[in-house]
């Protein structure tokens, strides 16, 4: 009898979990794109932007629940990623920035904190450059703004990369959001092409960003810690934190090898304190 009660309880919890996820997820038409986004929690808006080849869950699944305890988290899946299907138009960091701005306008949000990881960090920089009035504070996690911010041979590696070299965790995360292999292949092609054609953001543009920024980076990752420090020093109002580990390990990104690491707890606390100050 006790076992049946536990099973019933688990089924009820699963039902309410699924219902909560359905309530959190929405779509909006922005610039011809049917963009997927989720809203969690309440308070000052915090926009979360994922990296290349990623989804909301694969990048932010570990830290999002804690962030949502004190912020209204608006987590977005950008063109060709996760629930948001690709469309026939160029993919660029500038276009992503404009899409995010259009979504915030639809949500009647005139100012928000913006956090971007990896490619999402580059998009966050473009939002601050193209739509400065929207940005309260920036959290730039493993954000690239210069090609020189990567090890030698990094960009050349995109010339011969194949879809089979993508981490299986990213493939699983994409298919969990959108069970469409053609969509997964489109995301891969789009992200590779964008990285091959990556253009530096000028120092002048970075110096023009007036929003306070927190720059976070791993010590052993493709975005060099020296680049993160350069970004923090070029931004007029920035602080920096260099943390142990690889790309996204400090936020518990899905490919992080140590699932028991306490770094995401530390970094989440750091982010909340920065946004609160």
At 237-261, the pLDDT tens digits run 999 999 999 999 999 999 999 999 9
Name the domain count of the chain.
1
Q: Is 95 exposed, middle or buried (0-12, 13-18, 19+ CB in 10 A)?
A: middle
Classify strands 25-30 and 33-40 as parallel, antiparallel or unpaired: antiparallel
* Residues of the chain where predicted confidence (pLDDT) is lower than 50: 1-22
What does the pLDDT read at residue 24?
77
Classify residue 90: in a domain, yes or no: yes
Q: Tell me the residue range of the domain where 253 lies.
A: 47-276
User: What's the confidence (pLDDT) of residue 19?
Assistant: 40
CA 65 – CA 38 distance, rounded (Å)? 12
Residue 62 lies in a domain: yes
In a domain, 37, yes or no: no
- Taking the C-alpha atoms of residue 168 and residue 28, their distance in angstroms, rounded to an integer, is 29
**Residues in a beta bridge with 243:** 218
Sheet containing 135-141: order of strands: 25-30, 33-40, 72-77, 45-49, 112-117, 135-141, 213-218, 238-243
Indicate which CATH number applies to the domain containing 79: 3.40.50.1820
Q: What is the pLDDT of residue 23?
A: 53
How many Å separate Cα 84 from the centre of its chain? 14
CA dist 52 and 190 (Å) reads: 9
């Amino acid at each position: 009898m006790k076992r049946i009660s536990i099973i019933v309880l688990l089924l009820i919890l699963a039902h309410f979990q699924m219902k909560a996820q359905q309530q959190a997820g929405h779509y909006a038409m922005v610039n011809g794109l049917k963009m997927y986004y989720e809203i969690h929690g309440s308070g000052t808006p915090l926009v979360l932007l994922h990296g290349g080849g990623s989804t909301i869950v694969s990048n932010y699944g570990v830290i999002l629940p804690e962030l949502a305890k004190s912020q209204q988290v608006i987590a977005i899946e950008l063109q060709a990623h996760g629930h948001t299907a690709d469309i026939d138009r160029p993919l660029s960091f500038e276009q992503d920035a404009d899409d995010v701005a259009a979504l915030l306008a639809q949500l009647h949000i005139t100012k928000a904190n913006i956090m971007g990881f990896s490619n999402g960090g580059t998009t966050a920089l473009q939002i601050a450059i193209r739509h400065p009035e929207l940005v309260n504070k920036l959290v730039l996690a493993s954000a690239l703004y210069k090609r020189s911010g990567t090890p030698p041979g990094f960009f050349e590696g995109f010339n011969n990369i194949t879809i089979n070299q993508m981490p299986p965790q990213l493939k699983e995360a994409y298919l969990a959001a959108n069970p469409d292999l053609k969509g997964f292949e489109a995301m891969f092609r789009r992200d590779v092409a964008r990285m091959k054609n990556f253009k530096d953001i000028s120092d002048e543009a970075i110096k023009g960003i007036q929003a306070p920024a927190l720059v976070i980076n791993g010590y052993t990752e493709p975005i060099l810690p020296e680049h993160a420090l350069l970004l923090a020093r070029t931004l007029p109002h920035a602080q920096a934190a260099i943390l142990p580990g690889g790309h996204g390990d400090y936020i518990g990104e899905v490919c992080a090898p140590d699932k028991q690491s306490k770094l995401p707890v530390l970094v989440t606390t750091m982010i909340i304190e920065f946004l609160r100050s």
